């Protein structure tokens, strides 16, 4: 059975397979290697995923959504028309789409995968990713940290021994990893990151600055017009390094105006975001006990690292020109695919050994002996950036006379006060009565390569062991909820794959029509009507020829290339 590698991204997703001749990234039903992580409902209430859904974000913002990866691990409900979905369910729809593309490409069933996640994803978010895959009919053999995946792609591509820093900024997250490659071993020394810093935040900063400068009240801007302005700003962000001045015609409903975007304006707007880049870099270096001079190279990964301001900031920070010779949008998918090849024991990869690290400290709450009335303190059991897989045991004792149970709370984070960290779960175990301190329990945390945690608590006097896999963290779904979710998603109607090429063109034409005026609007309407008439005749050869003409005409009319 084939094992595919998947990059489940905030903005785009991709998948691949490791074949005898190396990595093969799998095209989707439209022939693209990148599938936008966007889900929507079409006019008949059918589920659409990818570019077709993305084309409808402006006109149908009430039933189309993207960037939901940031809500993974929560129970937040996201409205699509009259229906509501969790981020886990929406992610499962993207994964299902990728799975179908892989099965079409391979002409064989696909049921196992390696999926990349941000290095700084919490246990909740990792569990949610596995649950999304399960709903999509995929068994996750390994969750791999995104910068680690990128490092694998670079390390196995170049086979150059040395120490590298990977800076991975995608649409929604920023991750830093330091990795050493030597004698066939790829060892991750440290990871750090910011789960709320990505390309989307740069666009959001631009939007807020525009609203402030034009004195526009955000609450008065209709959702579909806000989405259109955001897409205009996204395009401007991508072009800002190559065009000295871009003049945008912005429509806020309450106000229509022109706005000029210059490199100087953009740089000033995003300074606070660039300053946030520095902290994870410094933390990773400190944890790895390295200085910038110890690095052989700095590698950029993720679409947002294409921004000139980001590359310039990194260059100034390290005094070097960072590397980016692999496609930053696809390199994580390449690394995930390589990891899938490793798990499949592909002969071409049999000499490679990979290690990773735990990105957060994991511990339990214990009594503050200096001030028993104060909140419990965190007892670290597995410290952040410990090489995994790892299993560590710490012994604690009862804190009061005649105590009959020990309550073990599991936390993830760096704060000395236990409750100021993320609470992952709990386990209560019975102990024999006795004086304070007589009964002792050994708490063992085991953390695997997928970043998932098991907790064992052993009562030393009785020898009994109690265990939990921390599967019911806040925001997590129970087994029955996963089963119900799978049944619910299976019952949804999906837009037919074979019709999607036509659907995405019609959605694009609709977007262009609403954004245009005068002769251009009439021209778009005319070519759309001609294409719709051809579709009505249902003659495949005519539709194929008409589709090609339609694409060429839309390309000639679409002077603002949003996507």
Q: Which residues are identified as catalytic?
A: 7, 69, 146, 168
For residue 462, give Cα distances in angstroms to 23, 157, 434, 443, 454.
53, 54, 13, 14, 21
Per 3-state DSSP, what percentage of the chain is helix, strand, and coil (rounded to 5)? 40, 30, 30
Q: Is 534 helix (H, G, I), strand (E, B) or coil?
A: helix
Reduced 3-state DSSP string for 467-514? EECCCCCCCCCCHHHHHHHHHHHHHCCECCHHHHHHHHHHHHHHHHHH
Q: 114 CB contacts (<8 Å, ≥6 apart)? A: 3, 4, 5, 6, 140, 141, 142, 143, 144, 336, 337, 339, 340, 343
Contact call for residues 457 and 451 (beta carbons, < 8 A): no
Euclidean distance between CA atoms 281 and 276, whole angstroms? 10
Identify the CA nearest to 336 among candidates 2, 94, 1, 16. 16
Q: 541 CB contacts (<8 Å, ≥6 apart)? A: none
Q: How many CB atoms lie within 10 A of CB 187?
A: 16
In DSSP terms, 8 is beta-bridged to 13
Q: Where are the alpha helices (DSSP H) in 295-385?
A: 308-318, 331-343
């Amino acid at each position: 059975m084939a094992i595919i590698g998947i990059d489940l991204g905030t903005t785009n997703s991709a998948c691949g397979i490791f074949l005898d001749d190396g990595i093969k990234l799998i095209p989707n039903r439209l022939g693209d290697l990148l599938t936008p992580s966007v889900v929507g409902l079409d006019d008949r209430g059918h589920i659409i995923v990818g570019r077709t859904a993305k084309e409808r974000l402006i006109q149908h913002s009430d039933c189309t959504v993207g960037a939901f990866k940031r809500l993974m691990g929560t129970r937040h409900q996201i409205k699509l028309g009259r229906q509501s979905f969790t981020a886990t369910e929406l992610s499962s729809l993207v994964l299902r789409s990728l799975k179908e593309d892989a099965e079409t490409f391979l002409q064989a069933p696909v049921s196992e995968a390696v999926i990349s996640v941000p290095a700084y994803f919490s246990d909740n978010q990792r569990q949610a990713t596995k649950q999304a895959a399960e709903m999509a009919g995929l068994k996750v053999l390994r969750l791999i940290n995104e910068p680690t995946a990128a490092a694998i792609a670079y390390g196995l591509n170049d086979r150059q021994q040395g120490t590298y820093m990977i800076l991975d900024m995608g649409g929604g997250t920023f991750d830093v990893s330091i990795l050493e490659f030597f004698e066939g071993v790829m060892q991750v020394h440290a990871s750090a990151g910011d789960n709320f810093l990505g390309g989307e935040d740069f666009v959001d900063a631009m939007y807020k600055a525009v609203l402030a400068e034009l004195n526009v009240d955000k609450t008065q801007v209709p959702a579909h017009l806000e989405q259109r302005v955001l897409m205009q700003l996204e395009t401007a962000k991508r072009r800002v390094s190559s065009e000295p001045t871009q003049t945008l015609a912005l429509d806020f409903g309450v106000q229509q105006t022109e706005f000029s975007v210059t490199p100087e304006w953009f740089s000033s707007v995003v300074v606070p975001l660039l300053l946030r880049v520095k902290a994870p870099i410094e933390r990773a270096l400190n944890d790895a006990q390295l200085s910038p001079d110890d690095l052989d190279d700095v590698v950029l990964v993720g679409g947002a690292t294409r921004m000139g301001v980001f590359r310039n900031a990194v260059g100034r920070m390290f005094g070097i020109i960072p590397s980016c010779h692999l496609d930053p949008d696809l390199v994580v998918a390449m690394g995930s695919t390589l990891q899938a090849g490793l798990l499949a024991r592909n002969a071409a990869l049999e000499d490679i050994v990979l290690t990773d690290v735990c990105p957060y400290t994991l511990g339990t709450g214990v009594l503050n002996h200096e001030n028993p009335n104060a909140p419990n303190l965190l007892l670290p059991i597995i410290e952040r950036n410990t090489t995994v897989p790892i299993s560590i045991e710490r012994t604690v004792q009862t804190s009061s006379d005649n105590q009959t149970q020990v309550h073990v709370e599991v936390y993830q984070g760096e704060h000395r006060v236990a409750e100021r960290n993320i609470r992952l779960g709990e386990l209560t175990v019975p102990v024999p009565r006795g004086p304070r301190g007589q009964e002792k329990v050994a708490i063992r945390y085991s953390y695997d390569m997928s970043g998932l945690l098991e907790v064992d608590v052993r009562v030393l006097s009785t020898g009994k062991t109690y265990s939990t896999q921390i599967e019911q963290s806040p925001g997590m779904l129970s087994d029955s909820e996963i089963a119900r979710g799978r049944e619910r998603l299976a019952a949804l109607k999906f837009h037919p794959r074979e019709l999607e090429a036509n659907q995405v063109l019609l959605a694009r034409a609709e977007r262009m029509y609403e954004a245009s005026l005068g002769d251009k609007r009439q021209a778009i309407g005319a070519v759309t009507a001609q294409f719709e008439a051809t579709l009505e005749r249902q003659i495949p050869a005519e539709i194929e020829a008409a589709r090609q003409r339609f694409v060429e005409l839309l390309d000639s009319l679409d002077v603002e290339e949003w996507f």
